[in-house]
Structure 1
Amino acid sequence: MVASVNSSLVSLLTSKGQDATGGGTIASAAKARLSPAALRHAAASTGAASAAQALETSQRKLGSELRAALAKAGVKLGGAVEFSVSGTGAVDIKATAADKAAMQAFLKADTSKPSFASRIATQARDALKLSGSIQQSAAISQAAKAGKSAAGVMSLYTSLMQQPASAQVVFSLSASASTLSYPGSLTASA
């Protein structure tokens, strides 16, 4: 992944006809943030769009199978249960006390292979990976547009990629639907 990013940046800088010693926007790089437009553009790229489609298909299947398994186990949700996974791997379940307890009991008793907890974790990992790729593409694009020199582009790109990760994946499940949202995505629902 790093090699492809470096290759993309080198190609970009070569096409601009600049060397890595020129001045640029180094001072302004520290204040830079990824723009929503750059994220939308990166998410719409062919590779990201097909990965998002595969993730949406997986999310729909997981939501349907989880709702069916809950119904078979006699678990009725009163509202939505949100499984959120941060970029650091921390998992949180948000729901009413009754729904949270029922879901935790269901997941603890689950003997399916792979387990639903494992499938939710895998989906979150895949969404975080896609989100990282979208953010990286957006950073390359935004740095290329704003950098006035090779050094400026590299400085801005580095600054954008070193921002604290606010990545969080949320898989929400209710009795009738499920949704998946992650940074750089439109919400996929089923």
Structure 2
Amino acid sequence: MLSNLNNSLLSYLTTQGQAGSTTSGNTAGASTKTQPLSQGALQRAASTAKASGAVQSLESGQKTLGNELRAAMAKAGVKLSGPVEFSVKSDGSVSIKGSDADKAATQAFLKADTSQPSFASRIATQARDAMKLSTSIQQSAAISQAAKSAKTSGGVMSLYTSLMQQTSSTSVVFSLSASGSSLTYPGSLKAAA
């Protein structure tokens, strides 16, 4: 069964043109120390046609959300002195970072928000979409990196599994300031407005 999975993975990589030649570097499964996903592998995975469309859609949504949130906060009399960061981790936990005054004003605004859907739910939806895209990008990067680094087909799966375990604590950060907004996540190509 595992042999069939390895062959399917290698077959997929070959058809995607990512199988590359093996290197004399790490052999998967031979060492418990696996190098993390390289930034280059993440950028290559994020720039594929499928990921690019999703990245553009996410960027567009981020810009719209940032503009509408700033306008609504200004209308409610909330003025940010610096950036406020909404961080959503893969386990679902959310944190807001910023100056005490900005953080309190933002939390009060979100609590009083009656728009449908609310800004809090729109931020959560954006984070969920970014997390899905990030996972997809990281999986593609891990497949590519494992195929290039492993010496055997069994090693590809072992290295892929190890690389993906290192990415389990990822987070998405939506940053909002008086002049702009940005969205960062593992594999993002600086989606900023």
TM-score range, shorter chain: 0.7 to 0.9
Q: Secondary structure at the match of 2:31?
A: helix
What are the ranges of 5 or more consecutive residues in structure 1 without an aligned counterpart? 17-23
CA deviations on 1:2-40 (whole Å, 9 max, x unpaired) are xxx978515148888xxxxxxx63213642321111111
Q: Percent identity?
A: 66
Change (3 A) 1:7 1:96: farther
In structure 2, C-alpha distance between the alignment counterparts of 1:81 and 1:178, rounded to whole Å: 9
Is 2:137 the partner of 1:124?
A: no
Is 2:129 the partner of 1:94?
A: no
In structure 2, C-alpha distance between the alignment counterparts of 1:7 and 1:121, rounded to whole Å: 38
- Which contiguous aligned blocks of 4+ residues in structure 1 show a shift greater than 6 angstroms? 13-16
> What is residue 114 of structure 1 aligned with on the other side?
117
> What is residue 20 of structure 1 aligned with on the other side?
none
CA deviations on 1:92-129 (whole Å, 9 max, x unpaired) are 11111111111111000000000000000000011111
Counterpart selection for 2:108 from 105, 111, 126: 105
Q: Secondary structure at the match of 1:26?
A: coil
Q: Counterpart of 2:56 in structure 1: which amino acid? A: Q
> Contact conserved, 1:81 with 1:174, CA < 8 A, in 2?
yes
In structure 2, C-alpha distance between the alignment counterparts of 1:129 and 1:25, rounded to whole Å: 26
Counterpart selection for 1:64 from 64, 67, 71: 67
TM-score, normalisation: structure 1: 0.87
> What is residue 145 of structure 1 aligned with on the other side?
148
> What is residue 19 of structure 1 aligned with on the other side?
none
Shift of 1:135: 0.4
> Contact conserved, 1:147 with 1:153, CA < 8 A, in 2?
yes
Report how many residues are paired.
179
In structure 2, C-alpha distance between the alignment counterparts of 1:71 and 1:60, rounded to whole Å: 16
In structure 2, C-alpha distance between the alignment counterparts of 1:8 and 1:185, rounded to whole Å: 28
In structure 2, C-alpha distance between the alignment counterparts of 1:13 and 1:109, rounded to whole Å: 50
In structure 2, C-alpha distance between the alignment counterparts of 1:104 and 1:66, rounded to whole Å: 13
Q: Secondary structure at the match of 2:103?
A: helix
Change (3 A) 1:25 1:178: closer
Q: Counterpart of 1:9 in structure 2: which amino acid? A: L
> Contact conserved, 1:77 with 1:175, CA < 8 A, in 2?
yes
TM-score, normalisation: structure 2: 0.86
Q: Counterpart of 1:131 in structure 2: which amino acid? A: S
Counterpart selection for 2:47 from 25, 41, 44: 44
Is 2:30 the partner of 1:27?
A: yes
> Contact conserved, 1:29 with 1:155, CA < 8 A, in 2?
no
> What is residue 85 of structure 2 aligned with on the other side?
82
> Contact conserved, 1:181 with 1:188, CA < 8 A, in 2?
yes
